[in-house]
Structure 1
Amino acid sequence: MNEYLAHLLDRNYSPATVRAYGYDLLAFCRWLSEQDLALERVGTDTLLDFLHACRQASVPGRPGPNVVSLDGQRLDRYAATTINRRLAAVSGLFTFVGLRDPAARNPVPKGREGRWQAAGERTGLLAHTTRRRKPRSALRLREPRRLPVALSPAQAATLVGSLRTWRDRAIAGLMLWCGLRSMEVLGLDVRDVDIGGRWITVTGKGAKQRRVPLDSDVASVIDVYLLAERPATEADRLFLVAKGPRRGQPLTAAGLRTIFRYHRGLTGVAGGHPHALRHTFGTVLAEAGVDLSVMQALLGQSPSSSLCK
């Protein structure tokens, strides 16, 4: 399993994905140990039992079985997305075993191939740019399809107005007016921002790079941050820790969550999460009638993926 996780890193999977798969495989191994089963004996029936155990398991730290959501679902159970991710981790493990041993059988059954996005994409002029969705296992659970939650103009103004440092304003501006993901913002280097040319070079999922127009107001905020607030350091990252023992080191995802958690409590904007600012950017583009392909290019989305993910 460690070799499989190392293989994912070699294939340029993000460290967060590899970490999540590692915990998923750890849960699978613990369940196999409780059932006194070896990995070589795992079959489709075994996977069905494992998925059933995941659906019945309680999440530590969640409210008890008497607390349910408005749709009647218990809040102490694992979400369908979590269980499907565990299935994907196990399926990928057996696929990796098959690469090393062609005689090994993958116990995860394959499902039907995904449908085309639209009727004309198969024979249209741009059909060669459209990728089929990968076949998904028949064991996958049905996941609820929820619309992205965006902030209203008043909520966005209240949240951004509560930010006091130029660094925090620049981070919020890049997500709200440029549509960047939080990890894309934290991964920016100083050389990635062309303030004079109003462009940003963004490295997204799968190390895919794209150029995003830089809003003039956000460019001004970044310029002031670089001149007046950014600590003197040899680090290449754009956004750094400003105070404390880690001063001058790159800002982490945990630090960014702490900032927004504090300002959510300060302003009372309950939905003021970092990713909500990106959703707000996509919603504004959609309401303005921007073409879907342009929106996908700005947001760094492939044609087959959901918007604002």
Structure 2
Amino acid sequence: MGAQGPAANGTRAMHDALPAPLRDAVDEFAGHLASVRNRSAHTVRAYVADLVSLLDHARRMGCTEVAELSLDTVRSWLARQRTTGAARTSLARRAAAARTFSAWAHRTGLLPTDVAATLASPRPRRTLPTVLRPEQAALLVEKPAHRPATPVSVGLASPTDPPSSEDRPGTGASGDTDAAVRLRDRMLLELLYGTGVRVSEACGIDTADVDQGRRVVRVRGKGGRERTVPYGLPAQRALDDWLRHGRPVLAVPDSRDALLLGARGGRLHPTTARRIVSGYAEAAGLPRTSPHALRHSAATHLLEGGADLRAVQELLGHSSLASTQIYTHVSVERLRAAYRQAHPRA
């Protein structure tokens, strides 16, 4: 399965137990997702794991070639997933994986017909995202300026974190490093809330991606798609402080052009960034908060402030407007809550 194969040993064992024609189809499909569809490694792993599960189920029903796959087989696989307790969101994703594979296999001649074209997906229950109030978001992004650095904000990797270039020693005195880390933390928080970018996008920004004259930053999103996102004056001030007084303290030769650095000079890892956000939120007495909650908050506050839904879609990098519309529901729920609380006839 190569680099595109699933990491789970159980999935790999199922893959290796498939008949050769099915195994080859899995590998070719993984390559198609990665190189042609330009899907992320995470998406490829998820789809391949679902496909291996489907084809293992088909093998148990006597299927030895892709051409023998039928709609009934796919439906019985999903039914079995449901009886074993799979969530509706998981079933919807697995149905999508089956449809994608079926369409690809038909185009490539492995299937005589697109057997899963009419496969219905269970509609997942859509929960509203966690959103901070504007004053809570302001309290969070300003917290690094009012709090001494701690192991949470310094961003040292724990033994369970993925390998990171942060593990290399940095330079500078301890006091200088602590001050630089606080400036980094403030920059990170301002960037996440001020632009609504994903945490992986924020950590992937290089210094050359920032146009300070126009106050915009170029980010690379899902599928390698690039977009340009504006940021405001508070983020600009945090950026100036970080570039002048913070980044030079933490930078090492291996830092290269990374905008956000770990405490030891490597590019900041998304796992560390998540810990930074949750640590400051806890210190500020806020609800459990993640970088994605800041993204949700930014989108909701934009819409509540009168921003056009299409503009918010572009800012967030959503390929579909349906993904952005969830934030209109958040705003309506806030309106309802305010009405219930304040109106005498609520």
Question: Is the 1:282–1:308 contact (alpha carbons within 8 Å) kept by the matching residues of 2?
Answer: no
Tell me if 1:25 matches 2:48: no
SS in 1 for 2:324: coil
Aligned to 1:283: 300
After superposition, the Cα gap between the structure-2 partners of 1:25 and 1:302, relative to the gap in structure 1 and judged at 3 Å, is: closer
Q: Which runs of 5+ in 1 are unaligned?
A: 58-76, 111-136
Q: Report how far residue 144 of structure 1 moved.
A: 1.8
Q: Report how far residue 185 of structure 1 moved.
A: 0.9
Aligned to 1:252: 269
Q: Deviations over 1:82-127 (max 9, x none)?
A: 21111222222222222321763222133xxxxxxxxxxxxxxxxx
After superposition, the Cα gap between the structure-2 partners of 1:232 and 1:224, relative to the gap in structure 1 and judged at 3 Å, is: farther
- The one-letter code sitting in structure 2 at the alignment partner of 1:93 is F
Counterpart among 240, 253, 267 of residue 233 in structure 1: 253
Give the Cα separation in 2 of the matches to 1:19 and 1:43.
Answer: 24
Aligned to 1:127: none
Q: Report how far residue 193 of structure 1 moved.
A: 0.7
Q: Report how far residue 151 of structure 1 moved.
A: 0.6
Question: Is the 1:240–1:251 contact (alpha carbons within 8 Å) kept by the matching residues of 2?
Answer: yes
After superposition, the Cα gap between the structure-2 partners of 1:35 and 1:259, relative to the gap in structure 1 and judged at 3 Å, is: farther
Q: Report how far residue 37 of structure 1 moved.
A: 4.0
SS in 2 for 1:91: helix
Tell me if 1:7 matches 2:32: yes
Q: Report how far residue 274 of structure 1 moved.
A: 0.7
Sequence identity (%): 33
Q: Report how far residue 12 of structure 1 moved.
A: 1.5
Question: Is the 1:155–1:269 contact (alpha carbons within 8 Å) kept by the matching residues of 2?
Answer: yes
**After superposition, where does 1:154-193 map in structure 2 within 5 Å?**
154-163=135-144, 164=149, 165-193=182-210
Normalization by structure 1: what TM-score?
0.74
Give the Cα separation in 2 of the matches to 1:262 and 1:29.
Answer: 43
Give the Cα separation in 2 of the matches to 1:166 and 1:31.
Answer: 53
Question: Is the 2:54–2:74 contact (alpha carbons within 8 Å) kept by the matching residues of 1?
Answer: no
Q: Which runs of 5+ in 2 are unaligned?
A: 1-25, 150-181, 327-346
Q: Report how far residue 39 of structure 1 moved.
A: 4.8
Q: Report how far residue 203 of structure 1 moved.
A: 2.1
Give the Cα separation in 1 of the matches to 2:260 and 2:104.
Answer: 38
- The one-letter code sitting in structure 2 at the alignment partner of 1:2 is D
Give the Cα separation in 2 of the matches to 1:39 and 1:151.
Answer: 51
Q: Report how far residue 289 of structure 1 moved.
A: 1.4
More helix by share: 2
Tell me if 1:147 matches 2:140: no
Question: Is the 1:278–1:308 contact (alpha carbons within 8 Å) kept by the matching residues of 2?
Answer: no
Tell me if 1:47 matches 2:64: no
Give the Cα separation in 2 of the matches to 1:280 and 1:153.
Answer: 8
Higher radius of gyration, 1 or 2: 2
After superposition, the Cα gap between the structure-2 partners of 1:211 and 1:35, relative to the gap in structure 1 and judged at 3 Å, is: same
Question: Is the 1:195–1:223 contact (alpha carbons within 8 Å) kept by the matching residues of 2?
Answer: no
Tell me if 1:56 matches 2:37: no
Instruction: Report the aligned-residue RMSD.
Output: 2.5
SS in 2 for 1:180: coil
Give the Cα separation in 1 of the matches to 2:59 and 2:71.
Answer: 17
Tell me if 1:89 matches 2:97: yes
